Structure 1
Amino acid sequence: MAESKVPAADQALRILSHLAAQRGPVPAASIATALALPRSTTYQLLGVLQERGFVVHLPEERRYGLGVAAFELSSGFSRQQPLARLGRPLVAALVDRLGESGHLAVLHGRDVLYLVEERAPRRPSLVTDVGVRLPAQLTASGRAMLAGLPATQLRALYPDRHEYARLKRLLAAVREAGLAHEDGEVTPGLASVGASVIDHLGWPAAAIAITYTSDAAIDREAVAAGVQDAAGELSRRIGGAKR
């Protein structure tokens, strides 16, 4: 990574990103160690972030966590819907090129939540639509995102050991292919292929998918490649990692 022209800002943002990735508040010393920052610098930055409300100090526990201002950033992100705004033209272009319906979805617990739905002309009606939720493990979009989660988080979402074992095997194939498929598991006679959109931390931020009839005479390799390209481009647009 190139050296930042504004190191203090870079360090403060790294602290916020680190805190966001933790399960709970952490000591300042562990932040300094994890980010290879001098302790004095860490305490100074935490003090500024605390003054602005982005960090809260828990004196009894001697730990730091995210503050209300950080939550307000999250709320602003939700209001502005950057994923939907950035993803909609990509999904629309993909649908125009392939002649099949497409969607953009995010993971919400064990469900997928659809943010963008683009219908291709003269194609079958779908159960998916903006605001609709479906079980993630049944959909191509959901499988693409679940495949990018660490095993501990996946196990927390699916505590039943038999369900977890089946899903683990399925997602291993998704990771190997870089694509997720489903055929008739959401709607009989319809199939989908999906790919995940990766954020700057390497996490699945969303997924793009295309749905077509199971017996459609289409170039499925071209459809899969188009989905991967669109997901990769959206990853790039949100500042995410390369696929």
Structure 2
Amino acid sequence: MLVLLPPSEGKAPSGRGTALKLESLSLPGLTEARRAVLDELAELCAGDEEKAREVLGLSEGLRGEIAKNTQLRSAGARPAGEIYTGVLYDALDLASLDTAAKRRASRSLLVFSGLWGAVRVTDRIPSYRCSMGVRLPGLGALGAHWRTPMAAALPEAAGDGLVLDLRSSAYTGAWKPKGEVAGRTATVRVLHAPTRKVVSHFNKATKGRIVRSLLAAGAAPAGPAELVETLRDLGYEVEVQAPARAGTAWALDVLVNEVH
């Protein structure tokens, strides 16, 4: 099972340990594309701060985030699972999983990123600020920048098992499962059960809990149909929109009664 996650806007501070080693990150086929973004982002943020703020789409109050990107090569690196914070990652709570579940997380979780393309939660990265929606002056839109290298790297990472796609819309454009891989992919929406409306904050928390439940249970559904049964066994209320034709993803709706 491969679980595709969005990053978080907020991130924990960089560590005090060894600096980034770009070549040590998972999915080595993305290395050159990562280097291109890293180089331009660091140069942009070391220059005209106002221009960098506009390119990164930061409010005046977040101007201080620009400094992070000037130190990407020298700042201490931490596992990505510690860097990403926020509602989804709080609910997932990787640190409190047992040893076996942590091993499963290291094999199955893949976090998408405007800067790194995608990383595993054990990959050591510094804190940064760069969403997939950014358009760098040289490289252009990052979603488009990642499309070609992702198309080569991600099918291999997906292997022959289930792909559980929990990414937000900003990150889905960087890689869309196609053909046979799409047929064993499932996407998830979280709906307020009484109204059948999509919820926002609770959407992230529920997705984090779903991933945690699967990891803690040692679940290994072979495909979307098995995932539905597994989630129901774990106590989730799931409605299924099976694909109308082969080679398209399954859409699952998880219903919740509380909206926080």
TM-score, reference length from structure 2: 0.27
Larger radius of gyration: 1
Structure number with the bigger relative contact order (C-alpha 8 A, sep ≥ 6) is 2
Q: Normalising by structure 1, report the TM-score.
A: 0.28
